[in-house]
Amino acid sequence: MSMRKVPLVSGEYYHIYNRGNSKQKIFVNDKDRDRFLKLLYLCNSKQSIDFREQIVRAKINAWDFEKGESIVNIGAWVLMPNHFHLYLSTNAEALLPQDNAIIIFMHKVLTAYSKYFNTKYNRTGSLFEGKFKSVHIENDIQAKYLFSYIHLNPIKLIYPKWGEQGIKNEKEALKFLDSYKWSSYLDYLGIIRPENKIIDRVNFLNYFISERSFQEEIFEWIKIQDE
């Protein structure tokens, strides 16, 4: 196994991301996105869970499955048409002695999803562009920026160049984010939904006084970092 450029150290925080091979779409429709989210939940376990056998054929709601203790903590996530972003740390109380928990978790998620996607769309070969990428989050400013970046990422779908040109209409951007269910943005707004089970806010710093401050401050963090 090749060494990673950024070692994944237990107890540290990381920005994890990957995209489709040759920038291809990895989520064609909402059913694909829903499967990936359920895998984020189910694969975050010491158990080896067979989605087809234990969920589909057993006719069990994936969100109701008792997966046991989590091996990583997920602080934020977003799905885009051809890539995804996660903010992760290891669960210190559930460390796996033989390997790094993040590597195990990501291997389980990406392998299971690739198998699902290739079978569904009758394709072969690698779905993702090599190994997942990782960036070590070293300080508070970097962490705040990452929270902003992840939750504002969907705005690219309506303003493709917002990263370079900024967000000129924040009201319209917020309206779009309120309707975009494929990120943890709604979870931080206090919306009750099954996907709440993916994130673990306890193990991440609480930067927000309220849901309103969360909406306001994610734009401010982006501006501060850019400056």
- CATH classification at residue 57: 3.30.70.1290
Domain range for 85: 13-134
Where would I find the H helices in 21-179?
Answer: 30-42, 101-120, 140-152, 162-165, 170-179
Last residue of a domain, which of 134, 165, 182?
A: 134
Same domain for 146 and 112: no
Same domain for 71 and 155: no
Q: What does the alpha-carbon distance between residue 119 and residue 156 come to, in Å, rounded to a whole number? A: 29
Query: pTM for this one?
Result: 0.89
Give the pLDDT of residue 227. 43
- Consecutive H or E run containing 79: strand 72-80
Same domain for 166 and 118: no
* Domain-located, residue 54: yes
Same domain for 170 and 120: no
* Domain-located, residue 30: yes
Same domain for 159 and 74: no
Q: What does the alpha-carbon distance between residue 166 and residue 152 come to, in Å, rounded to a whole number? A: 11
Q: What does the alpha-carbon distance between residue 40 and residue 42 come to, in Å, rounded to a whole number? A: 6
- Which amino acid is residue 149, in one-letter code? Y
* Domain-located, residue 2: no
* Torsion angle (degrees, nearest 10) of CA 111, 103, 43, 184: -100
Give the pLDDT of residue 8. 83
* Domain-located, residue 178: yes
* Domain-located, residue 49: yes
Same domain for 181 and 84: no
Q: How many domains does the chain have?
A: 2
Give the pLDDT of residue 12. 87
* Torsion angle (degrees, nearest 10) of CA 163, 80, 128, 135: 50
What six digits make up the tokens of 128?
A: 């993702």
Whole-number Cα distances in Å, 209 to 147, 183, 189, 204: 15, 20, 11, 14
What six digits make up the tokens of 1?
A: 């196994």
Last residue of a domain, which of 134, 159, 180?
A: 134
- Consecutive H or E run containing 8: none
Last residue of a domain, which of 92, 114, 134?
A: 134
Strand, coil or helix: 187: helix
* Domain-located, residue 3: no
Same domain for 184 and 125: no
* Torsion angle (degrees, nearest 10) of CA 166, 169, 171, 172: -100
Other Cβ atoms within 10 Å of 47 Cβ, number: 16
Where does residue 53 rank: exposed (0-12), middle (13-18), buried (19+ CB within 10 A)? exposed
* Domain-located, residue 7: no
Same domain for 59 and 17: yes
Same domain for 112 and 83: yes
Same domain for 122 and 143: no
What six digits make up the tokens of 193?
A: 């939904």
Same domain for 58 and 167: no
Same domain for 123 and 42: yes
Q: What is the pLDDT along the chain (227 residues), one digit of tens a residue?
A: 445 666 788 888 999 999 999 999 999 999 999 999 999 999 999 888 888 889 989 999 999 999 998 999 999 999 999 999 999 998 766 566 556 889 999 999 999 999 999 999 999 999 999 899 999 999 888 888 898 889 989 999 998 887 677 777 878 888 899 999 999 999 988 899 999 999 987 766 566 655 666 766 777 655 544 44
* Domain-located, residue 32: yes
CB 167 within 8 A of CB 159: yes
